Structure 1
Protein backbone atom coordinates (compact mmCIF):
# COMPACT_ATOMS: atom_id res chain seq x y z
CA UNK A 1 0.00 0.00 0.00
CA UNK A 2 1.35 3.42 -0.95
CA UNK A 3 1.20 6.12 1.71
CA UNK A 4 -1.09 9.03 0.86
CA UNK A 5 0.41 12.32 -0.24
CA UNK A 6 0.99 14.77 2.64
CA UNK A 7 -2.15 16.59 3.68
CA UNK A 8 -0.64 18.75 6.42
CA UNK A 9 2.02 21.26 5.37
CA UNK A 10 3.97 23.15 8.03
CA UNK A 11 4.65 26.66 6.75
CA UNK A 12 7.12 29.39 7.54
CA UNK A 13 8.13 32.85 6.39
CA UNK A 14 11.64 34.09 5.77
CA UNK A 15 13.40 37.42 5.62
CA UNK A 16 15.58 36.03 2.79
CA UNK A 17 13.52 33.18 1.37
CA UNK A 18 15.85 32.33 -1.57
CA UNK A 19 18.78 31.96 0.86
CA UNK A 20 16.70 29.89 3.29
CA UNK A 21 15.60 27.56 0.49
CA UNK A 22 19.23 27.03 -0.56
CA UNK A 23 20.21 26.39 3.06
CA UNK A 24 17.42 23.88 3.70
CA UNK A 25 18.37 22.00 0.54
CA UNK A 26 22.15 22.14 0.99
CA UNK A 27 22.42 21.77 4.78
CA UNK A 28 19.48 19.56 5.72
CA UNK A 29 18.73 17.67 2.50
CA UNK A 30 15.26 18.94 1.60
CA UNK A 31 14.40 18.69 -2.09
CA UNK A 32 13.20 21.75 -3.99
CA UNK A 33 9.89 20.91 -5.66
CA UNK A 34 8.50 24.33 -6.60
CA UNK A 35 9.49 27.97 -6.19
CA UNK A 36 7.23 30.75 -7.44
CA UNK A 37 9.01 34.08 -7.16
CA UNK A 38 9.44 37.57 -8.52
CA UNK A 39 13.14 38.23 -8.13
CA UNK A 40 14.04 37.76 -4.47
CA UNK A 41 10.40 37.71 -3.33
CA UNK A 42 9.20 34.13 -2.97
CA UNK A 43 5.42 33.88 -3.13
CA UNK A 44 5.36 30.11 -2.62
CA UNK A 45 7.95 27.38 -2.27
CA UNK A 46 7.46 23.71 -1.64
CA UNK A 47 10.32 21.60 -0.29
CA UNK A 48 9.96 17.83 0.06
CA UNK A 49 11.57 15.72 2.77
CA UNK A 50 13.07 12.52 1.28
CA UNK A 51 11.31 10.26 3.81
CA UNK A 52 7.93 11.92 3.22
CA UNK A 53 6.17 15.20 3.84
CA UNK A 54 7.74 18.60 3.50
CA UNK A 55 7.34 22.29 4.19
CA UNK A 56 6.04 25.31 2.35
CA UNK A 57 7.54 28.78 2.74
CA UNK A 58 7.59 32.25 1.34
CA UNK A 59 9.01 35.71 1.85
CA UNK A 60 7.84 37.75 4.82
CA UNK A 61 5.87 40.76 3.71
CA UNK A 62 5.96 44.20 5.29
CA UNK A 63 2.29 44.92 4.72
CA UNK A 64 -0.71 45.12 7.01
CA UNK A 65 -2.63 43.37 4.23
CA UNK A 66 -0.54 40.20 4.64
CA UNK A 67 -3.00 37.34 5.00
CA UNK A 68 -0.35 34.99 6.47
CA UNK A 69 1.72 37.22 8.80
CA UNK A 70 4.09 34.70 10.33
CA UNK A 71 7.25 36.18 11.81
CA UNK A 72 10.54 34.84 10.41
CA UNK A 73 12.53 32.75 12.86
CA UNK A 74 9.54 31.53 14.91
CA UNK A 75 9.12 28.11 13.27
CA UNK A 76 9.98 24.77 14.82
CA UNK A 77 9.70 21.23 13.48
CA UNK A 78 10.65 17.68 14.32
CA UNK A 79 11.89 15.85 11.22
CA UNK A 80 12.42 12.09 11.05
CA UNK A 81 15.75 11.02 9.59
CA UNK A 82 17.72 7.78 9.52
CA UNK A 83 21.12 9.21 10.50
CA UNK A 84 20.95 12.32 12.68
CA UNK A 85 24.71 12.25 13.27
CA UNK A 86 25.52 12.52 9.55
CA UNK A 87 22.83 15.16 9.04
CA UNK A 88 24.20 17.13 12.01
CA UNK A 89 27.74 17.10 10.58
CA UNK A 90 26.53 18.11 7.11
CA UNK A 91 24.40 20.94 8.52
CA UNK A 92 27.11 22.34 10.79
CA UNK A 93 29.57 22.40 7.88
CA UNK A 94 26.91 24.29 5.88
CA UNK A 95 26.53 26.90 8.64
CA UNK A 96 23.72 25.66 10.89
CA UNK A 97 23.77 26.85 14.48
CA UNK A 98 23.97 24.04 17.02
CA UNK A 99 21.11 23.91 19.50
CA UNK A 100 21.91 20.43 20.80
CA UNK A 101 24.41 17.88 19.55
CA UNK A 102 23.17 14.39 18.66
CA UNK A 103 22.20 12.38 21.72
CA UNK A 104 20.16 9.35 22.71
CA UNK A 105 16.80 10.04 24.32
CA UNK A 106 14.94 8.11 26.99
CA UNK A 107 12.30 7.07 24.45
CA UNK A 108 14.66 5.27 22.06
CA UNK A 109 15.45 8.03 19.59
CA UNK A 110 18.69 9.67 18.58
CA UNK A 111 18.19 13.40 18.02
CA UNK A 112 19.86 16.73 17.47
CA UNK A 113 18.66 20.33 17.34
CA UNK A 114 19.83 22.81 14.71
CA UNK A 115 18.89 26.39 13.88
CA UNK A 116 18.79 27.71 10.33
CA UNK A 117 20.08 31.21 9.43
CA UNK A 118 16.63 32.73 10.09
CA UNK A 119 16.58 31.29 13.64
CA UNK A 120 14.03 28.51 13.06
CA UNK A 121 14.44 25.39 15.22
CA UNK A 122 14.83 22.01 13.49
CA UNK A 123 14.99 18.84 15.56
CA UNK A 124 16.12 15.79 13.58
CA UNK A 125 15.75 12.31 14.99
CA UNK A 126 14.99 8.67 14.50
CA UNK A 127 11.70 8.64 16.47
CA UNK A 128 8.92 7.98 13.96
CA UNK A 129 6.03 8.50 16.35
CA UNK A 130 3.66 5.99 17.83
CA UNK A 131 1.68 3.70 15.54
CA UNK A 132 -1.79 4.87 14.59
CA UNK A 133 -4.63 2.91 16.20
Structure 2
Protein backbone atom coordinates (compact mmCIF):
# COMPACT_ATOMS: atom_id res chain seq x y z
CA UNK A 1 0.00 0.00 0.00
CA UNK A 2 1.25 3.47 -0.87
CA UNK A 3 1.98 5.93 1.91
CA UNK A 4 0.51 9.44 2.02
CA UNK A 5 3.49 10.84 0.10
CA UNK A 6 3.02 8.43 -2.83
CA UNK A 7 0.39 9.59 -5.36
CA UNK A 8 1.78 7.36 -8.10
CA UNK A 9 -1.17 5.01 -8.55
CA UNK A 10 -3.60 5.68 -11.38
CA UNK A 11 -3.49 9.13 -12.94
CA UNK A 12 -2.61 12.19 -10.86
CA UNK A 13 -3.24 15.73 -12.07
CA UNK A 14 -0.24 18.08 -11.82
CA UNK A 15 -1.04 21.77 -12.17
CA UNK A 16 1.34 24.61 -12.99
CA UNK A 17 0.31 27.89 -11.36
CA UNK A 18 1.21 31.13 -13.12
CA UNK A 19 2.66 34.36 -11.74
CA UNK A 20 4.15 32.95 -8.52
CA UNK A 21 0.71 32.28 -7.02
CA UNK A 22 1.32 28.65 -6.02
CA UNK A 23 0.90 29.36 -2.30
CA UNK A 24 -2.33 31.25 -3.00
CA UNK A 25 -3.54 28.27 -5.07
CA UNK A 26 -2.87 25.87 -2.17
CA UNK A 27 -4.81 28.22 0.14
CA UNK A 28 -7.68 28.36 -2.35
CA UNK A 29 -7.85 24.56 -2.79
CA UNK A 30 -7.88 24.15 0.99
CA UNK A 31 -10.75 26.64 1.35
CA UNK A 32 -12.69 25.57 -1.77
CA UNK A 33 -12.26 21.80 -1.77
CA UNK A 34 -11.03 20.90 1.73
CA UNK A 35 -7.57 20.03 0.42
CA UNK A 36 -4.96 18.72 2.83
CA UNK A 37 -1.37 19.62 1.95
CA UNK A 38 0.75 16.49 2.41
CA UNK A 39 4.08 18.07 1.48
CA UNK A 40 5.69 21.18 0.02
CA UNK A 41 9.14 21.87 -1.39
CA UNK A 42 10.20 25.44 -2.17
CA UNK A 43 12.62 26.63 -4.80
CA UNK A 44 15.99 28.13 -3.86
CA UNK A 45 14.32 31.56 -3.83
CA UNK A 46 12.34 30.38 -0.78
CA UNK A 47 9.09 31.64 -2.32
CA UNK A 48 8.00 29.64 -5.35
CA UNK A 49 6.72 26.11 -4.97
CA UNK A 50 8.78 23.45 -6.75
CA UNK A 51 6.32 20.77 -5.66
CA UNK A 52 3.21 20.54 -3.49
CA UNK A 53 1.20 17.37 -2.93
CA UNK A 54 -2.44 17.82 -1.92
CA UNK A 55 -5.19 15.33 -1.08
CA UNK A 56 -8.72 16.29 -2.17
CA UNK A 57 -11.64 13.97 -1.51
CA UNK A 58 -9.25 11.01 -1.21
CA UNK A 59 -7.33 11.75 -4.43
CA UNK A 60 -3.95 13.34 -5.04
CA UNK A 61 -3.30 16.65 -6.78
CA UNK A 62 0.21 17.95 -7.36
CA UNK A 63 1.13 21.50 -8.25
CA UNK A 64 4.08 23.79 -8.74
CA UNK A 65 4.70 27.42 -9.54
CA UNK A 66 5.63 28.13 -13.11
CA UNK A 67 9.38 28.47 -13.76
CA UNK A 68 9.64 30.23 -17.13
CA UNK A 69 13.42 30.50 -16.75
CA UNK A 70 13.58 26.71 -17.14
CA UNK A 71 10.77 26.10 -19.61
CA UNK A 72 11.17 29.01 -22.01
CA UNK A 73 7.65 30.32 -21.34
CA UNK A 74 4.57 30.15 -19.19
CA UNK A 75 2.40 27.04 -19.02
CA UNK A 76 -1.21 27.92 -19.80
CA UNK A 77 -4.06 25.65 -18.71
CA UNK A 78 -6.08 24.37 -21.65
CA UNK A 79 -8.41 21.51 -22.43
CA UNK A 80 -8.56 19.95 -18.95
CA UNK A 81 -11.33 19.75 -16.37
CA UNK A 82 -10.63 18.30 -12.93
CA UNK A 83 -13.65 16.40 -11.57
CA UNK A 84 -14.72 15.85 -7.97
CA UNK A 85 -17.43 13.26 -7.39
CA UNK A 86 -18.99 13.46 -3.95
CA UNK A 87 -22.13 12.49 -2.06
CA UNK A 88 -23.11 16.17 -1.56
CA UNK A 89 -22.36 18.19 -4.69
CA UNK A 90 -24.22 21.23 -3.32
CA UNK A 91 -22.03 21.45 -0.22
CA UNK A 92 -18.83 21.24 -2.27
CA UNK A 93 -20.23 23.72 -4.82
CA UNK A 94 -21.14 26.34 -2.20
CA UNK A 95 -17.78 26.00 -0.45
CA UNK A 96 -15.91 26.51 -3.74
CA UNK A 97 -17.99 29.59 -4.62
CA UNK A 98 -17.45 31.05 -1.15
CA UNK A 99 -13.69 30.60 -1.63
CA UNK A 100 -13.71 32.53 -4.92
CA UNK A 101 -14.50 30.07 -7.71
CA UNK A 102 -16.71 31.31 -10.57
CA UNK A 103 -19.49 29.45 -12.36
CA UNK A 104 -18.88 28.03 -15.87
CA UNK A 105 -21.98 25.82 -15.92
CA UNK A 106 -24.53 26.06 -13.08
CA UNK A 107 -24.93 23.10 -10.73
CA UNK A 108 -28.17 21.30 -11.59
CA UNK A 109 -29.77 17.89 -11.96
CA UNK A 110 -28.56 16.58 -15.33
CA UNK A 111 -30.26 14.26 -17.82
CA UNK A 112 -27.56 11.59 -17.40
CA UNK A 113 -28.46 11.09 -13.73
CA UNK A 114 -26.00 13.26 -11.79
CA UNK A 115 -26.17 16.61 -10.07
CA UNK A 116 -23.34 18.37 -11.93
CA UNK A 117 -21.82 21.77 -12.59
CA UNK A 118 -18.53 23.39 -13.63
CA UNK A 119 -16.40 26.09 -11.98
CA UNK A 120 -13.26 28.06 -12.77
CA UNK A 121 -10.69 28.59 -10.04
CA UNK A 122 -8.85 31.93 -9.73
CA UNK A 123 -5.75 30.37 -11.37
CA UNK A 124 -7.31 29.45 -14.72
CA UNK A 125 -8.15 25.79 -14.06
CA UNK A 126 -11.57 24.24 -14.73
CA UNK A 127 -13.32 22.02 -12.17
CA UNK A 128 -16.50 19.99 -12.26
CA UNK A 129 -18.43 18.79 -9.23
CA UNK A 130 -20.92 15.95 -9.41
CA UNK A 131 -22.95 13.69 -7.19
CA UNK A 132 -26.33 12.03 -6.77
CA UNK A 133 -29.44 13.81 -8.03
CA UNK A 134 -31.21 16.06 -5.57
CA UNK A 135 -34.92 15.46 -5.11
SS, match of residue 27 in structure 2: helix
- Structure 1 partner of 2:26: 21
- Choose the corresponding residue for 1:71, options 70, 75, 86: 75
Cα deviation code 1:27-80 (max 9, x no counterpart): 121211111114321000111122x222111001112x339x772443421121
Instruction: State whether residues 14 and 60 of structure 1, in contact with CA within 8 Å, keep that contact through their aligned partners in structure 2.
Output: yes
SS, match of residue 38 in structure 2: strand
Structure 1 segment 1-133 matched on structure 2, within 5 A: 6-15=9-18, 16-38=21-43, 39-50=46-57, 52-63=58-69, 65-66=70-71, 71-74=75-78, 75-126=80-131
User: How far, CA to CA, are the matches of 2:24 and 2:74 in structure 1?
Assistant: 18
Unaligned runs of 5+ residues in structure 1 are: 128-133
Q: What is the TM-score of this pair, normalised by structure 2?
A: 0.78
- Structure 2 partner of 1:130: none
User: How far, CA to CA, are the matches of 1:22 and 1:113 in structure 2?
Assistant: 20
Alignment RMSD: 2.1
How big is the shift at 1:20? 0.4
SS, match of residue 24 in structure 2: helix
Cα deviation code 1:75-120 (max 9, x no counterpart): 4211212211111111111111111221112221111211111111
- Structure 1 partner of 2:4: none
Runs of 4+ in 1 over 6 A off after TM superposition: none
Instruction: State whether residues 12 and 70 of structure 1, in contact with CA within 8 Å, keep that contact through their aligned partners in structure 2.
Output: no
How big is the shift at 1:122? 0.4
User: How far, CA to CA, are the matches of 1:105 and 1:12 in structure 2?
Assistant: 28
